[in-house]
Every structure is written in C-alpha cells, then in structure tokens.
Amino acid sequence: MVNFWTLSNKAKLVVEEIPYLKSAAINVYIKVGSRHEKENMTGASHFVEHMLFKGTDKRSARDIAESFEIIGGQLNAYTSKEYTCVYARTLDENIYEAMDIIFDMIFNSSFSLKDFNTEKGVVIEEINMYEDTPDDLIHDLFMQNLWQNHPMGKPILGTLETVSSFARDDIYSFYRQSYVPSNMVISVAGNIDGNKIKEKVEYYLDKASSNREFSGAVLDKPKESMNFVKLLPKDTEQIQICLGVPGISYLAEERYTQHVMNSILGGGMSSRLFQTMREEMGLAYSVYSYPSNYSDTGAYSIYIGTGANNISKFFAALYEELDRFISKGVSEEEVYRSKQLIKSSMYLGQESVMNRTGRMGKSLMMYGEIIPVEKVVENIIAVTPQMVKELASRLLCFESISLAAIGPEKVLKEVEKGFKNWFK
C-alpha cells in the first residue's frame, strides 16, 4: 500500500508498506544541486553532502559510521545537477534508528572548521582522481560545452579553484538555506507501519523547521550550444569520444519513446551500436548511448572509447548507423524486444526496496505524484516504430550534433577531421 502526504511544513512524504519483506529503506531528497550554485560556489552542493557525514552535536563521524555498521545497515548519499539524496537501507527493526541518524545529519551537521578544512583536501583529491579518469571526464567535458556559461554545465564536484576558495561560513550558509523541510521529499518503503513513519518524520521535520524557511531563486533555463567541437589534449591510450545533441525534459511525453529509442540505438548488448561497433567491427570495448533528462532541458549522447587507428572507421560506421536509424527507422521486432526488456527491468526492479524508494521519491519530486509502474509500462507498450522514427529524426539530426574528445593532441586532429567530414 502506497500513501503520500504534503506535511504541514510543506515537505512531501511517500510511504509504501511491504509486510512480506525483512528490510526497509529511506531516501531523503533535497532539491538542491549544482545548477543552483553561483559561479564562485560551484561544487557547494557536493561539498555539503560530504560534510553531512562529518558529525553533529550528538554524533561524531565515527559514531555515524559505527551506528550503521553495528546494525548491518547501509548509509550513503549522492549529488546531481538538480538534487541531493541521502539514503539508507536496514533491517525493518532498525529503520527508526536509521531515521534518527539521517535526520540528525541532515539538520544538525556541525561543519567544524577542522573537519571543513580536512574535507577540502578530500574533495580536491576526488576532483584530481576524476581528472585522471578520462572515460568519466569526457561526459562532463561535453555537458560543459553544451550548456556554456550556465550552472547546468558546471561540474558537480566543483573545480580545484572553487573548492580551494570555499569559506566555511559561506558553505554553511548555503546548507542552512537549502536543507529545510519545504525543500525536501522523503520516501520510505519496506516492512513498516506507515502511520508511525509519518509521525516520526513530522517530529524530526517540525523540530528543524521552527526557524528556517527555504529561499530558493528562480532558475534560468539553459541555452544549448550546437555543432561545437571541444578537444582536450591528454596523454591517454584510448581516445574518449562523446557526441550528442540537445535533448528533452523529463516532463516531456516523448520520454517513453526516448526510452525505447535509446534501447534500440545504444542502450544495451543487443543495441545497434554495440552489435556494430563492438561485436562486428571490434572498434571498442565500451560503446553506448544515453539520455540525460532534467526539469527544463536535456541531452542525448553517444560514447565510445577507441584506439587511434580506429578513428576513421568509427566515424564512417557511426554516420552510417545514424543515417540508417533516422531515414529508415526501426523494425517492429526491435521495438517489441526493447519494450519487453524495459518492462522486465522495471518489474524486476520492484523486488528491491531501494529501487522502490528511489522510484517513488523521484516520481513525487519530479511529477508531483506517484506514477504507478503499471502506468509507465502501459506508456512504454504504446510506443510504435513510427514514434521512434519521428523522435530520432527530430533529435538526432546531423545539424545539431556536437563533439567532445580526449586524447593525444596528434590523434585529436584526426578526430576533428573525421567529424567534420560528416558535413561535407
């Protein structure tokens, strides 16, 4: 049974009782991410996420870690462009203890100056590690250029310059302004008593909301850049390539069609790109496509890591695949197979309590309602080959495609040449 409420402090809560499980999970979504940051505060949301684990007035960082380990629970968090999530999974008998720890972290983190300075070093090393991982960095490089001069294009981790310049009071102020109940969605699922969960959540949130109000700013819609070429020289063995186009919002009705389209083009092992580039031509170990959907914008990208000797073969093969995908469309068999794969994935995902809390929380945060899995599957099943062809023709037109690449400078010249040959 699923119930959700808008609480008196404007927080939203969704609870699903699943009595046959022995586990429970909680996800707390705070609607603040990298797109909400001023330029000199790039990386602030991610930094706050780190500081949540460094201790409160009641608990040290060690206390938080040991409290979860002693009950065999899992505690973690992540930051995205539009929200931050703190989540935990425990045995059903320990969920209330987990909630006490999580809400203490969320509302009462102390941000001691010593911990703040220590964590600066940790995040700087995280950025350095990311910079040394070109198959991760390439995606950020593409997004930075797709949404130039807009927070959506800034790296979630921040930069070495911004993180180094963070002042404790500025980050603490950002935290206090953002981490308020009216800016939160809480999702809980498992072998729980829904009414008791609601009572506990209200208790923690009412304590926290007595003297704090959310003061979020109106966000500007980003403008997308098209047909750019961004090359980053780096001494790597493989050439990392990301091509893409502006995409759709997660509010667009076409999101269901996009799901099917992506599955056929490059979303899995049976996809066209995987079968052609890897299985038939041996050009790559990893090649795939993926959508990125946000509240008012999106992107659609294709990634490959390949060798310097394969550049011309890759561009010729990819041009042929995209041209065929746009001009000839997809078959009934491909669409049916993809719909069955998506349907299976969604229903199997329901067997995980973490997947359930995540799906419910995001649904409530993004759409203001809980969209049942059955309804999503119904919309997926309704997708036709013609719908896929029309969306592909609109999204994947060559006039909109841009390129980012990382590799040795000499090889990058071949990458740029191969890409520009498409437009001759």
Domains in the chain, ordered, with CATH? 2-208 (3.30.830.10), 229-423 (3.30.830.10)
pLDDT grade for 216, boundaries at 50, 70 and 90: low
**Catalytically active residues, by annotation:** 49
What are the pLDDT digits (tens) for 240-291?
Answer: 999 999 999 999 999 999 999 999 999 999 999 999 999 999 999 999 999 9
| pLDDT score, position 174 | 95
Cβ atoms 52, 77 nearer than 8 A: yes
Q: What is the mean pLDDT of residues 102-129?
A: 97
Q: What is the mean pLDDT of residues 34-59?
A: 96
pLDDT grade for 327, boundaries at 50, 70 and 90: very high
Q: Please tell me whether the overall predicted TM-score, pTM, comes out greater than 0.85 for this model.
A: yes
- For the stretch 152-168, what's the b/e string if a residue is b when 16 or more beta carbons lie within 10 angstroms of its beta carbon? bbbbbbbeeebbeebeb
Helix axes 61-70, 95-108, angle to 10 degrees: 160
Distance CA 232, CA 377 (A): 41
Distance CA 115, CA 61 (A): 10
